[in-house]
Amino acid sequence: MSDLEKPQRDKKQFLEDLVRDLVASYQSESSMQHLDSIFLPNRQKTIEIIERLRKLVFPGFFDEQRITSENVSYHVGELLVQTHDLLYEQVHQAMCYGQNERGETDNECDQCCDVAMEATEAFMRKLPELREILADDVRATFDGDPASASTDENIFCYPGIDAIFTYRMAHELYKLNVPLLPRIMTEYAHNETGIDIHPGATIGRRFCIDHGTGIVIGETCDIGNNVKIYQGVTLGALSTKGGQDWKGMKRHPKIEDNVTIYGGAIILGGSTTIGESTTIGGAVFITQSIPSNTTVSMDNLDLKIKPKRERKNK
């Protein structure tokens, strides 16, 4: 073997070994691959659906062309058809995937198509109603924030509106028992905004989020009307020691109407209820129910203010 050939042969060997080892690793860690499967929905297309729904719900804000009263019907019609078809495709994939996960046979795949079409159309039919609900959310966000210059600004660039919009879409699909898609959608909003709302949570009207980064709203939360929450608020589970054993149980708090929760407050537990019209102060830590019409802050929370000692280093 000449010297010239040797390194190439070595590189070829290196490559072949690595390919073989990786493919072997795919076979041994079956939870880490999705080979031979046709059912997984497509994350990128699911995000595209959300972006098209955003244009349908807020016409004229995110479009590249100008929409006028004269042409809006054509625009909406075309967009609806595209969104409907994209959504049907992904709902169908998700339904087949769900069936497969539950170990059901392939024979009922025709049924998948029907169920997916029903879910898709039921969702689409809800859009006008969802717009009404979102209009209230936008109004509440504007009314509650002196820094907001107009509802246009809210729609255009408030992460709170972005997260609520995506949650309301995803929650509707969640109620229609569509697997995976709702979570992909809310995690997309989580990525964009830092606001993590589980699609299973129940949230009333005129919901308002300010700043938002670091908010967590768990799967079994139940939130009333006119609720306002700030950045860093957690509405979470008390403990997750049980892991999957807790599945399906109520693990997250109930927040009644007209409650305000300031930044960094942590409210935990499935039997915790924050009563109507109560205000939770910033950074409060709560694992018990709170009566209505109260304000809550930390007791004994005094500041320790000391003069600075002379720093030696630096």
Residue 132 touches a copy of itself, criterion: CB under 8 A: yes
Residue numbers 32-51 binding a copy of itself by CB under 8 A: 32-38, 40, 43-44
Residue 172 found at the interface with a copy of itself (CB under 8 A): no
Nearest distance from C-beta of residue 95 to a copy of itself, angstroms: 14
Dist. CA 251–CA 44, nearest whole Å: 31
Nearer to a copy of itself, 172 or 196 (CB): 196
Minimum CB–partner distance for residue 147 and a copy of itself (Å)? 4
Please select the residue that binds a copy of itself; options are 95, 116, 119, 155, rule is CB under 8 A. 155
CA–CA separation, 13 vs 10, rounded Å?
Answer: 5
Residue partners of 124: CB distance under 8 A and separation at least 6: 80, 83, 84, 87
Cα separation, 92 vs 86, in Å, equals: 10
Provide the token pair at 250. 């109520």
User: Is 74 or 271 the residue whose CB approaches a copy of itself more closely?
Assistant: 74
Nearer to a copy of itself, 68 or 105 (CB): 68
Q: How far is the CB of 116 from a copy of itself (least distance, A)?
A: 15
- Cβ atoms of residues 289 and 270 within 8 Å: no
Q: CB under 8 Å to 85, separation ≥6 — which residues?
A: none
In the region spanning residues 45 to 84, those forming contacts with a copy of itself, defined by CB under 8 A, are 56-62, 64-82
User: Can you spell out the DSSP letters for 143-169?
Assistant: HH-TT---HHHHHHH-HHHHHHHHHHH
- Residue of 149, 154, 175, 176 lying closest to 165 (CA atoms): 154
For residues 160 and 209, is the Cβ–Cβ distance under 8 A?
yes
What is the C-alpha separation between 86 and 82, in angstroms, rounded? 6
Return the number of the residue (110 or 245) whose C-beta is nearest a copy of itself: 245
User: Taking the complex as a whole, how short is the minimal distance between the CB of residue 19 and a copy of itself, in angstroms?
Assistant: 5
Here's the x/- map for a copy of itself, 97-126, by CB under 8 A: it reads as: x---x-------------------x--xx-
**CA 311 to CA 314: how far, in whole Å?**
7
Closer CB to a copy of itself, 108 or 288, in the complex: 288
- Shortest Å distance, C-beta 132 to a copy of itself: 7
Ranges within 13-32 binding a copy of itself (CB under 8 A): 14-15, 18-26, 29, 31-32
Q: Least distance from C-beta 215 to a copy of itself, angstroms? A: 8
Binding to a copy of itself (CB under 8 A) within 187-246 occurs at 187-188, 190-194, 196, 198, 200, 210-214, 216, 218-219, 228, 230-232, 234, 236-237, 240-246
Report H helices in 59-125. Answer: 72-101, 109-125
Least separation, in Å, of the C-beta of 217 and a copy of itself?
10
